[in-house]
Structure 1
Amino acid sequence: MKVNIDINQIVETISDSYSPLTAACKADLAKGLKVLDFDRSAILVREGQYADKSYFIVKGCARAYYLKDGKDITDWFAFENDFITAINSFFLNVPSPHFIEILEPGILLELSKDKVEQLSDKYHDFERLAKVVVTKTLLQLQQRVVSIQFETALQKYENLLKIRPDITQRIPLTHIASYLGITLETLSRIRNPKNGI
């Protein structure tokens, strides 16, 4: 899938969506971004790999997942205008405990850890943007922990649909059930209550 995209326009979107960047910072950021395009699903990061890249999703979606006793457990979804990275590996320089998989054809922008550090050292506004991205991620993770601990299966599913109404059209139900911490059978019952509980 070869596409022409306007990196400067996408940098504007990042600036508008997360935290305002100066013109000089935007120009520098645009130079440091690498465009990746996928015409099918692909693995971006593998378990055990050192991950020194972060990704901004222009088009498409991705997930982070663990393998536990041969079973794959979805931990995170990212969609258009989201950042995704192997957080532990990126920030702590340790092997990634999980995989990151592209789930549908799409376009991502790749930014290396070196470039993130360079931009953060050079521009206060980029440093602020990086903090906003990390804070947003932490808040989403906190929300997920609360959901897993205190909500019923139905509440978890309904809240996920409020945030992402199109998720069942884009993500396989097995991954959604895994993310919600419920079985596929339970998810099917919730989605089709007339089929009997």
Structure 2
Amino acid sequence: MSIEDIIRNIELHFTTLTEECKNDLKNNSKIISLDKETTIVKEGQFSDKTYFIAKGAARAYYLKDGNEITDWFAFDNSFISSINSFFLNTPSIHYIEVLEPSIFLEISRENVMLLSDRYREFDRLGKTIITQTMLQLQQRIVSIQFETAQKKYENLLNVRPDITNRVALTHIASYLGITLETLSRIRKPKKTNLI
């Protein structure tokens, strides 16, 4: 997968970029290939990079009392970063782990700011990504507060029908805020008695 292919996918899923902007983006980012279980951000690390997932999957999680709590999945054609660390230049509270062999486009905060200042359409791209992320997080908060375990799982499958083939059930249960046992129970189809 070439950098031109990746930038075309960014345009396809977000916004059109001028040729000059695309050339600058190409010169100010790099493609990285990552293996499954690679940790690209660790808790306490200053993270000044954002990643466009050209192919693959990742999750953001934090540790609480020794347990991993997943609070974000990102898949093909989406961005992921340690948001607080990236925007506030503070140590990350998250880990970001690659869930399957992946190809990412890596862009530093410095280059994001440079491109945003230089190109209106790149600034618009950033605002679109931030808006989408905020809406997804808001939906997740509503889901956690008001929906049953069954409804949370059904909604996740509606958005990501392939998630159980790409993500460990323990991570899915953690993301939904339920136990692995509860997830196993709601995944089993109910048997009806036929007479």
TM over 0.5: same fold? yes
Q: Identity across aligned pairs (percent)? A: 62
CA deviations on 1:12-52 (whole Å, 9 max, x unpaired) are 21112111111110111111121111233200000000000
What TM-score, normalized to structure 2? Answer: 0.95
- Could you say which residue in structure 2 is the equivalent of 1:8? 4
Residues 97-128 of structure 1, C-alpha deviation per residue, up to 9 Å, x if partnerless? 01000011111110000000000010011000
Are 1:191 and 2:187 matched, yes or no?
yes
Q: Which moved more, 1:185-194 or 1:134-143?
A: 185-194
Match of 2:176 among 155, 177, 180: 180
Segments of structure 2 that go 5 or more residues without pairing to the other structure are: none
**Alignment correspondent of 1:17:** 13
Instruction: Give the corresponding residue for 1:88.
Output: 84
SS at match of 1:60: strand
Contact 2:17 2:122 in 1 (8 A): yes
1:15 maps to a residue whose letter is E
For the pair 1:76 / 2:72, whether they are aligned, the reply is: yes
User: In structure 2, what is the equivalent of residue 42 of structure 1?
Assistant: 38
Gap runs ≥5 in structure 1: none
CA contact (8 A) 2:6 2:105 kept: no
Matches within 5 A, 1:22-171: 22-171=18-167
**What letter corresponds to residue 63 of structure 2 in structure 1?**
L
Tell me the amino acid that sits aligned with residue 143 of structure 1: Q
Counterpart code for 1:99? Y
**CA–CA separation in structure 2 for the residues paired with 1:169 and 1:16:** 25
Structure 1 residue 8: Cα displacement = 1.0
Q: Which amino acid aligns with 1:75?
A: D
SS in 2 for 1:140: helix
Distance in 1, matches of 2:76 and 2:186, equals 27
Deviations 1:133-186 (CA, angstroms, capped at 9, x unpaired): 000000000000010011100000000000000000110000000000000000
Q: After the TM superposition, which segments of 4 or more aligned residues of structure 1 sit over 2 Å from their partners?
A: none
Q: What is the Cα deviation at residue 86 of structure 1?
A: 0.2
